[in-house]
Structure 1
């Protein structure tokens, strides 16, 4: 067995030193140095910069701003933390209530020096209203849409209002004011604010004013808001002890030009939802969708147009819709209006310069930033919107001449004069300024911040999807009548914003010459595409295709029913049992605007006896045949009653709110008559159908 000799350590090291080469020492030294450097990283060198996070903040973020997620949801705590006495809380679907809440908050600060906190209603815990002390004030502005539905950001508060709170005086310390936005064409006019007020009162809260309501059906939302605001001012002076002071324009934001920003840093026109930080689960992301097909639906399109348009979803695998959903289209402002505004403000030399839009108080910034004036006027602000009477008066303070000031002041101080001006003129901001003093650059002294404050933020327009996800899952179709308005006094034509934009995209050019600045450098849209997103809807077919359905639509209200009928035809072709499918369709004239007649006939041939359609023409060739869809329902009372009551059919209405109201009244009339019910029994029946999601309405004002 061999033995191993163990040499002393000193001898081993000595042999190594004797035989080692210079490069061995160098390697050892390098390893030691690198090890030391690694161990000391962050201690002796490359210490972390505590301010490095600033590199990743959006330019418009205010220093020290607390993220919404980190702020308390307790309303009393928020008032205490911000050292404010008044909370202005808004619940808005389209943005109108939000804008008015912002205006009210700003005016209370400006005219009374009040300490005001402006809040999205979804940012507070509803139960915390009970913690608000009696020396504070809550002001609620809430919109009603659909069939008396609350806005998306009000669902938590709405659920709380309908809960049993235990003590009936849980809100005995709460003082409040309430203003609702609605449309009297709808059956449940201003239902949301009525429920808010009644439930607050039932819990012991004290209203300092009767609940006020704005009516969009008459176009008086703005005037009703101004009347209510005057009453609020009287409360502040008479009941709350504030003294009103007259002040000039105080901007709630500033526009800062920054030439150091590169094009890649800017927002060039890609839309941004109002609540970008809190996206709605019902809405998809916004994408630029290619238009794959479009065609005119009216047989005589010389004066009126109806568009069928399909967009491709294939570029975005996560973008999926279900039959009955909506497509939200983001319009672009017409070039002529943009150019007119740029000219009258004298902004030609600055229109492409990078600029930051920054808040000077807690007013939310309604447009993306940083951006350019071009992007603001083309994509982010509705430059075609009419100017409110209040804002006309504000513009008068910056008038370049006495004559211009007198004209604008005269329009602003009298409601009737303002209404007459609107009735005889196409009033946009640019056109109003041009009428007052139309020289190029005449209004160059007008602060750009005021222009941004006066113009509403661009909003999407929602269209019922007229295609079936079962038939064409990766293409979504919409149907839109071009909604131009003719002034009663002058006969001038005011073009609808979104529908004329769609019309221009149909064949690459607008039949009446309207142009849109596409494409341009850094333009986010290519020709033949549009910005849009999907929104989920509860307007759905029954789960079982064998369930009977009754559909009532007038004009483009037939759009979702085209999808319903095509889907049922496909299901029957697959061997599924399909129940009775009844359509009532109304339009002006069979020869001019009977849209989708061929598509419906093709689906009807596949469905066979289970499908039937009854038409109603309001302007037929023979005047004695004039009918509306509600007239046809009365004429076919037995069939309607059998389907709805005996057959437990799903019932759908799509179209204008006025039509939906008349149809609902007609259905109630025939069911009451044939069933021998009282009005109370009919109400119980319709309420039960709605709770069971068998009665659906998709209507607009």
Structure 2
């Protein structure tokens, strides 16, 4: 590869999903010794911020970049790297200030920097951005910690440290603001000026003709393409689970709550109460048609296309061979939120000058983008259709869409059943997301929950009336079927059934606790002993969203009130004060203190991370602070709860 510049930038990254780099340690050693030319490896299926940053660094300033996973790097002489290389740390924080799995070794190394600070002036130059969630106490702890350690060793930081907040849903915008400020500073460090924009496709897309039996029309892998799916069933090789039943739990409210049951009997899949079910959704017919229409692909939607990478070391994000329709329906998340970066790139291919001007405004003015795009949850086809509804955006390269639109990823739901009561049947509990935003032309519909709704609506004889393609690629399934897999969770019942448990879950957060209770009920029916079981559940109104009301009564009858205590809070019941789950603790303060402090109870919280989980933690600390050992010292009580988290007795499954 011909160097664009005599200068290069070394990017190191770690992300919450784990290892994403594919460079060997020996490769990195050669790179640092400048025995080979630097590359810009881009992993298209990983739509990470490092990919965006590295590509823009090259196209705008000619900076050659290498993306490396932290696990693949040798840190011994990182502090002594010469200033003709810049290390950009893109670090995610997991849970309570912990490093992600692929940053554990790096974190240990940083601890060594802190304990043995170097005297003098380090030659390392770096920049940094953190991926965090302000719902947690140690917000973006990793990037803050690394920045502090580097500062103590006199390393040179370029620009400010960026803090991305997934808790407020501003992670992407936080990154863009940081990137727009930091990239010019990196270029200034090297004495480079910005170049005129030239789109450089990462993928080659070629039309081939009519599809054949070897064309992927939505199949997840070659086993399905050959109509010979077999286990083991995993995330990349999901099981096609037929729908057993789906029923609406509450019929009087404005929201739809679905109880969905899927059949695992034809698979090797197994689960435990508290695990997650991964559902691979499809896009709706409405959005698929819109996407194909907006980008001028309607007439060629069924033509076969071959997708290849312009770099032999990079894998394309979708199968090849496939079709535009299959890409829009199955392989790309075409309803994903739009980034300003995507609009900025699309502006170069606008069909009219007016459309280009509008995209430039939206992509460069965060306030305008927030009001007209983000606040209305528009997808890319909706945005472009609103800007220019009469002319198709045929000039937008399909390769660009593959680069900027994320692949369709599974959605995870807490399993709401127990294998002790239904070993080969798994259930989930969801609320169908349909929201009307101010000034929005259409309702916003959640991709996965509306897909689940579509599964529940058609009968076996009437699949064609569904809003989605629920019969699968090539109309393979005679009844509604979903591709699923199981994700193991640490959100598990105690090993010993006699251990007391306290469960706290408003709304659909109560789902895993239905599975927990089914387990204990079944054990009780087998004449086995179970410990004290308390459930704190919250909803809006008894008549609108009281999920599984009769089942809680049945559980209480089997377990007896002495064992099972069910407590419900209504936040919008007419004529009653607003009440949330944590408000119920005071009434049961003595029981809670006894169970948590003396009986070894496990505490489980499931639901909203932004406010509920925090409020539950603070309120529980206030309750147990009333015990004589804390003497009303809430800070000490909170420290005790933190210790419970560390020992696995305080577990959260929050989002």
Q: TM-score, length-normalised on structure 2?
A: 0.85
- CA distance, structure 1, for counterparts of residue 352 and residue 143 of structure 2: 44
Q: What does residue 538 of structure 2 align with?
A: 586
Compared CA separation, residues 425 and 689, structure 1 to 2 (3 A): closer
Compared CA separation, residues 203 and 545, structure 1 to 2 (3 A): farther
- Whether 1:397 aligns to 2:397 is no
- CA distance, structure 1, for counterparts of residue 526 and residue 412 of structure 2: 32
- Whether 1:334 aligns to 2:287 is no
Paired residue secondary structure (1:264) = coil
- Whether 1:101 aligns to 2:54 is no
Q: Which digits, 9 at most, give the CA deviation of each residue in 1:653-700, with x for residues without a partner?
A: 000012101111111122223331545533431232112110100000
Q: Which of the residues 393, 406, 410 maps onto 1:443?
A: 393
- Whether 1:118 aligns to 2:80 is no
Please report how far the alpha carbon of residue 487 of structure 1 lies from its aligned counterpart in structure 2 after TM superposition. 0.7
Whether the 8 Å contact between 2:234 and 2:485 is mirrored in structure 1 is: no
Please report how far the alpha carbon of residue 613 of structure 1 lies from its aligned counterpart in structure 2 after TM superposition. 1.3
Compared CA separation, residues 623 and 455, structure 1 to 2 (3 A): same
Please report how far the alpha carbon of residue 563 of structure 1 lies from its aligned counterpart in structure 2 after TM superposition. 0.8
Q: Which digits, 9 at most, give the CA deviation of each residue in 1:224-248, with x for residues without a partner?
A: 1111102221321332333322323
Please report how far the alpha carbon of residue 191 of structure 1 lies from its aligned counterpart in structure 2 after TM superposition. 3.3
Compared CA separation, residues 260 and 421, structure 1 to 2 (3 A): closer
Equivalent residue runs for 1:567-582 within 5 Å: 567-582=519-534
Whether the 8 Å contact between 1:424 and 1:489 is mirrored in structure 2 is: no
- Whether 1:429 aligns to 2:384 is no
Please report how far the alpha carbon of residue 308 of structure 1 lies from its aligned counterpart in structure 2 after TM superposition. 0.9
Paired residue secondary structure (2:474) = coil
Whether the 8 Å contact between 1:660 and 1:699 is mirrored in structure 2 is: yes
- Whether 1:650 aligns to 2:591 is no
Q: Which of the residues 523, 544, 562 maps onto 2:496?
A: 544
Equivalent residue runs for 1:66-465 within 5 Å: 71-72=24-25, 75-80=28-33, 83=36, 98-124=47-73, 129=78, 135-148=84-97, 150-151=99-100, 153-154=102-103, 157=106, 167-169=116-118, 174-198=124-148, 206-259=156-209, 262-264=212-214, 266=216, 268-270=218-220, 285-300=237-252, 303-317=254-268, 319-361=269-311, 365-422=316-373, 425=376, 427-439=378-390, 442-465=392-415
Please report how far the alpha carbon of residue 165 of structure 1 lies from its aligned counterpart in structure 2 after TM superposition. 9.0
Q: Which digits, 9 at most, give the CA deviation of each residue in 1:41-73, with x for residues without a partner?
A: xxxxxxxxxxxxxxxxxxxxxxxxxx9888336
Q: RMSD of the TM alignment (CA)?
A: 3.4
Compared CA separation, residues 403 and 211, structure 1 to 2 (3 A): closer
- CA distance, structure 1, for counterparts of residue 527 and residue 446 of structure 2: 44
Compared CA separation, residues 174 and 261, structure 1 to 2 (3 A): farther
Paired residue secondary structure (1:378) = helix
- CA distance, structure 2, for counterparts of residue 524 and residue 388 of structure 1: 35
Q: Which digits, 9 at most, give the CA deviation of each residue in 1:11-60, with x for residues without a partner?
A: xxxxxxxxxxxxxxxxxxxxxxxxxxxxxxxxxxxxxxxxxxxxxxxxxx
Whether the 8 Å contact between 1:89 and 1:140 is mirrored in structure 2 is: no
Whether the 8 Å contact between 1:312 and 1:474 is mirrored in structure 2 is: yes
Please report how far the alpha carbon of residue 309 of structure 1 lies from its aligned counterpart in structure 2 after TM superposition. 1.0
- CA distance, structure 1, for counterparts of residue 249 and residue 221 of structure 2: 29
- Whether 1:605 aligns to 2:557 is yes
- CA distance, structure 2, for counterparts of residue 127 and residue 502 of structure 1: 51
- CA distance, structure 1, for counterparts of residue 115 and residue 42 of structure 2: 24
- CA distance, structure 2, for counterparts of residue 541 and residue 177 of structure 1: 43
Equivalent residue runs for 1:610-625 within 5 Å: 610-624=563-577
Whether the 8 Å contact between 1:118 and 1:363 is mirrored in structure 2 is: no
Paired residue secondary structure (1:476) = strand
- CA distance, structure 2, for counterparts of residue 414 and residue 433 of structure 1: 17
Whether the 8 Å contact between 2:217 and 2:473 is mirrored in structure 1 is: no
Q: Which digits, 9 at most, give the CA deviation of each residue in 1:146-177, with x for residues without a partner?
A: 55555455455456656799854499554332
Q: What does residue 652 of structure 2 align with?
A: 697
Please report how far the alpha carbon of residue 592 of structure 1 lies from its aligned counterpart in structure 2 after TM superposition. 1.6
- CA distance, structure 1, for counterparts of residue 466 and residue 374 of structure 2: 23
Compared CA separation, residues 594 and 190, structure 1 to 2 (3 A): same
- CA distance, structure 2, for counterparts of residue 570 and residue 506 of structure 1: 28
- CA distance, structure 2, for counterparts of residue 331 and residue 83 of structure 1: 43
Q: Which of the residues 630, 636, 643 maps onto 1:681?
A: 636
- CA distance, structure 2, for counterparts of residue 447 and residue 662 of structure 1: 48
Q: Structure 1 residues 649-658 or 254-263, which shifts more?
A: 254-263
Specify the structure having the higher radius of gyration (Cα): 1
Whether the 8 Å contact between 2:130 and 2:163 is mirrored in structure 1 is: yes
Compared CA separation, residues 424 and 114, structure 1 to 2 (3 A): closer
Whether the 8 Å contact between 1:298 and 1:592 is mirrored in structure 2 is: yes
Q: Which structure 2 residue ranges, 5 or more long, are not aligned?
A: 1-19, 223-231
- CA distance, structure 2, for counterparts of residue 354 and residue 405 of structure 1: 31
- CA distance, structure 2, for counterparts of residue 87 and residue 400 of structure 1: 31
Whether the 8 Å contact between 1:268 and 1:523 is mirrored in structure 2 is: no
Compared CA separation, residues 623 and 78, structure 1 to 2 (3 A): farther
Whether the 8 Å contact between 1:615 and 1:629 is mirrored in structure 2 is: yes
Q: Which structure 1 residue ranges, 5 or more long, are not aligned?
A: 1-66, 273-279
Please report how far the alpha carbon of residue 610 of structure 1 lies from its aligned counterpart in structure 2 after TM superposition. 1.0
Please report how far the alpha carbon of residue 649 of structure 1 lies from its aligned counterpart in structure 2 after TM superposition. 0.9
- Whether 1:467 aligns to 2:417 is yes
- CA distance, structure 1, for counterparts of residue 244 and residue 112 of structure 2: 49
Please report how far the alpha carbon of residue 181 of structure 1 lies from its aligned counterpart in structure 2 after TM superposition. 2.1
- CA distance, structure 1, for counterparts of residue 345 and residue 145 of structure 2: 35
